[in-house]
Amino acid sequence: MAENPFFSPSTLPYKLPNFAEIREEHYLPAFERGMTDHLREVEAIAGDPGPATFANTVEALERSGQILKRTATVFMSIASSDATDGIREIETEILPKLTKHGDAIHLNRALYERIKQVATEDPEEAWLLEKYRVDFVRAGADLSEADQERLKELNEELTKVATTFSQNLLRASTGSALVVEDVKELDGLSESAIKAIEKDGKYVLPLLNFTNQPALAELTDRQTRRKLYELSVNRAPENFDLAVRLATLRAERAALLGYPTHAAYSVADQTAKTTDAVEEMLGKLVGPAVANARREAELLSEQAGFPIEAWDWSFYAEKVRKARYDFDGSELRPYFELDRVLRDGVFHAAGELYGITFADRDDLAGYHPDVRVFEVFNADGSQLGLFVFDPYARPTKRGGAWMNNLVDQSHLFGELPVVMNNLNVTKPAEGPTLLTFDEVNTAFHEFGHALHGLFSDVRFPRVSGTEVPRDFVEYPSQVNEMWATWPSVLANFARHHETGEPVPAELLEKMKAAEKFNQGFATVEYLAAALLDWAWHKLAPGETVEDAEAFEAAALERAGIAFDLVRTRYRTNYFAHIFSSGTGGYSAGYYSYIWSEVLDAESVEWFKENDGLKRGNGDHFRSALLSVGGSMDVMAAFRNFRGRDPRIEPLLERRGLLT
């Protein structure tokens, strides 16, 4: 296929993939050629008769595999954002092959020996060299041949099982949807929300990625709430057995690599370093969070006039919020129109803080008509990169919100970044897209990841942008959330979509006053998921689980986080963060969000102490932390920014957990 668009770099600005030319039949040939070429390049590096140097070994590896990288980057993005049946078939076929390909490189003894011989005095090169050495060791380079063969088998099976888990879950988001024939059962939902889910005379409410569906806060019919909730927690039941298989395979793999558990393996190259450090931090939060949630439950039952159930929590939380703070979150929606939030909120805050500007690039197409492309410029007018924005939910898109790179910044290739944000906002049947405040906050959060990618200023792709430890990667995005409620930013974007009137000051004051309400629920829901993840990945090698649901219940009880009224944010059967990637993802890493929030809370405190939204503050955050990506120790970068090590107290205060 000489015309295959993956065989040569894109000629579009910033090397944006030419989605208009890419068809499904291009992927498999491009993957096959990409893997063949990459292995040939790697063999040439490993077999080089000259002395091993940084340039002819590590840098050469950085330059290798370009066709494969282009193909995989686009394919993985499409598999998450617009996975047709054809894409899912390719995914099932290609992911095990990619796993084998990775093993063929990391278990190449000649290549590994060559990496060990490299020496360099350059700090950035030395850091990258150590990254490569650790990557190879953690991938099994030091194992015997027999153990390497078993490792390959484990990796391949993990990939296959995780792919099935992920595809089951994608199907379940629509297959387990709440289907309603009588519109009266949807009382409480807005007229536009009801129109958006009407299909062939019925109303189909698909499941979002987590336990607590947003509609539970609005539906007045208690039986409808119960049906929606039970569909949510019981979706994709076939995934329970797959989760057991994944956890036991990971435990065996960890033991093979010299670790007592997968959790120990997972945190060893993170900022946490040890399982004890993670458990100590989570342990400090459980007691105060559960006590807070129980107090909240009493208030909600008092408001309801009967002992509430889990499916009642969100509905009565909104009633208590309104009664106690005279605040109804739905009152804000008319002031949060999507395009205005993006341009006059997200982009405006970034402009004020960093001096960057944005220009529509309607001449550049995405992979779907809803995708928009923006060019980003530095304060001096120089080019910074492209920002690709895909806001809407669809049946072919996985749940949640995320950022990924389509092109990594690196001086090695002279490439500027192309970064992408995906949200899952319901597209209205007609009229403007009005957001909840949670969706506004998510837009700011994901753009924090985008800034981390856009501001990258490093030499090598391996350490570009968000290529940092998993328990650090959420930190810059969480910091960016603070600007969603910064007064001058809110005043700029929170305007009524019809009248243009600013959101009333008293409504904002009520929102701020209500911020800490329901934090017990939010913290318990999150901690339960983090501790459930931890329990699955502290299985000892050979340990068996007969009943996944019983294991889940016992794990939460043991951790002191079991509370029937506040279920874990993700149950085992739909915990995509930890089970949709065989050897990677957030397995034994869901703690990362709260770990990163410790750094975030410290940083928000620093910004407030230094007058907030000022160019000098943004320039300091950009230069000390965002621009360095993973090219140095990230905690050293944090200290360069903050001036000291982080403390947990700002986080406890934020979540209302200080006694």
User: How many domains would you assign to the chain?
Assistant: 2
The encoded tokens of residue 389 equal 């924005």
The encoded tokens of residue 352 equal 């004020």
pLDDT, tens only, 538-563? 999 999 999 999 999 999 999 999 99
For the residues 526-541, what does the mean pLDDT come to?
97
pLDDT, tens only, 396-442? 998 889 999 999 999 999 999 999 999 999 999 899 999 999 999 99
pLDDT, tens only, 63-120? 999 999 999 999 999 999 999 999 999 999 999 999 999 999 999 999 999 999 999 9
What mean pLDDT value characterizes the chain?
A: 95
Q: What is the pLDDT of residue 327?
A: 85
CATH assignment at residue 78: 1.20.1050.40
Is residue 324 assigned to a domain? no
* Cβ-contact 408, 459 below 8 angstroms: no
For the residues 125-145, what does the mean pLDDT come to?
97
Q: Could you please report the per-residue DSSP string of 458-480?
A: -S-GGGSTT-S-HHHHHHHHHHH
Is residue 97 assigned to a domain? yes
Highest mean pLDDT among 208-212, 370-374, 399-403, 648-652: 370-374
Active site residues: 446
Which of 388, 434, 11, 379 shows the shortest CA–CA distance to 195? 434
Percent over 70 (pLDDT), the chain: 100
pLDDT of 1 above 60: no
Q: How far is CA 493 from CA 314, 341, 347, 489, in A?
A: 27, 6, 10, 7
Is residue 637 assigned to a domain? no
Identity at 396, one-letter amino acid code: T
Q: Of 85, 107, 142, at which residue does a domain stop?
A: 142
DSSP state of 159: H
Parent domain of 126: 13-142
Is residue 76 assigned to a domain? yes
Q: What is the pLDDT of residue 658?
A: 72
Is residue 249 assigned to a domain? no
The HSE-up count of residue 503 (CA atoms within 13 Å, CB side) is 27
Q: What is the value of pTM for the model shown?
A: 0.90
pLDDT, tens only, 223-257? 999 999 999 999 999 999 999 999 999 999 999 99
pLDDT, tens only, 601-650? 999 999 999 999 999 999 999 999 999 999 999 999 999 999 999 998 89
Q: What is the pLDDT of residue 326?
A: 87
pLDDT, tens only, 11-41? 999 999 999 999 999 999 999 999 999 999 9
Is residue 415 assigned to a domain? yes
pLDDT of 264 above 80: yes
* R_g of the chain, CA atoms, integer Å: 25
Q: Of 142, 173, 206, at which residue does a domain stop?
A: 142
Q: Of 79, 108, 142, at which residue does a domain stop?
A: 142
Is residue 497 assigned to a domain? yes
The encoded tokens of residue 532 equal 């459930």
Is residue 223 assigned to a domain? no
- pLDDT band at residue 2 using 50, 70 and 90 as cut-offs: low
For the residues 374-399, what does the mean pLDDT come to?
96
For the residues 302-314, what does the mean pLDDT come to?
97
Question: Which residues 6+ apart lie within 8 Å of 72 measured at CB?
Answer: 31, 34, 98
Distance (Å, whole) CA 191 – CA 189: 7
Angle between helices 145-175 and 239-256 (to 10 degrees): 160
